[in-house]
Amino acid sequence: LFPDVGATFLLSHLKAGDTVGRFLGMTGTTIKAWDCLRAGVGTHFVPSSSIPQLRTLLSQKCIAGVTGQQALRSCEEALREASQGAQPEASEAVLTDANLAVIERCFGGDTLEEIVARLQAETCEFAKATLAKMYQSCSPTSCKVTLAAMKEAGQEGANISGVLNMEFRLSQRFTTRPQPLSDFYEGIRAVLVDKDRKQSWNPGWDKLGDITPGKVAEFFAPLERGHPRGELTFDTELAFSEAKRAPFSPVVIKSKL
């Protein structure tokens, strides 16, 4: 679909660069601990076997009254003690030096068409596999919207509240409109209902021109007047609390699982 829950902001500000964020956001590539640390998606590493110890340390150090910088220091101490200097394995790493160079060259393109053309021009297996995955598993409409969203979230002055509002609009446009406006239902069918993994995107990868800038912009436009959920706003920490907004309409379940 698209990176949500603030992910467009996170991926646009990775220490490894926004091209890595675009690669992860547009392809949905799964990465492990080593890659997470290198990209900046993760900040600390604790082996799975040490998670119970980490829980205990956190409960001991982060007690009532420990707040602010003191709480942050307590968390850092717990992480250091639980990890004991452990480092994740680099086996099966995605973000190797060679792959990062390809990502930088290709996902620095300004449009999806340019990114695809750059991947096609590469001769390495990583570029070929990335392109094949996009053709098979990634909706071109979602890719174009994701690229636009990450550009928006990466602008100077962008903040998490504005990004969450933007992502909420995207969620409403993706989940309430059928093809060719959104591939959401087709993705659900192919992955969760029929489970045939034979997605039929509309428009497809051979018709990227049909996904015009104007159609992409529709995803970002203010929600229609009378929308049952209304805009998601975070002018203050309590702006979206039940005490400050109109109640949501009840959820109507139209099908049985």
pLDDT tens, residue by residue, 24-57: 999 999 999 999 999 999 999 999 999 999 999 9
Measured CA to CA in angstroms, residue 7 lies from 41, 146, 167 at distances of 10, 10, 9
Residues 136, 191: Cα–Cα separation, whole Å: 12
Q: Which helix (H) or strand (E) holds 96?
A: none
Residue 257 binned pLDDT confidence (cut-offs 50, 70, 90): very low
| Residues in contact with 22: Cβ distance below 8 Å, sequence separation at least 6, in sequence order | 11, 107, 115, 146, 147, 150
Amino acid, single-letter form, for residue 240: F
Residues 169, 204: Cα–Cα separation, whole Å: 23
Residue 94: name the closest of 147, 46, 45, 133 by CA.
133
Residue 241: predicted pLDDT: 62
Residues 226, 220: Cα–Cα separation, whole Å: 17
Residues 65, 55: Cα–Cα separation, whole Å: 18
Residue 229 confidence (pLDDT) above 80: no
Residue 228: predicted pLDDT: 77
Residue 119 binned pLDDT confidence (cut-offs 50, 70, 90): very high
Per residue in 68-117, pLDDT (tens digit) is 899 999 999 999 999 999 999 988 899 999 999 999 999 999 999 999 99
Residue 191 confidence (pLDDT) above 90: no
Residue 133 binned pLDDT confidence (cut-offs 50, 70, 90): very high
Per residue in 139-187, pLDDT (tens digit) is 999 999 999 999 999 888 888 888 888 999 999 898 888 888 888 888 8
User: Distance between alpha carbon 142 and the CA centroid of its chain, in Å?
Assistant: 11
pTM recorded for the entire structure: 0.83
| Residues in contact with 103: Cβ distance below 8 Å, sequence separation at least 6, in sequence order | 19, 20, 23, 95
User: Distance between alpha carbon 189 and the CA centroid of its chain, in Å?
Assistant: 21
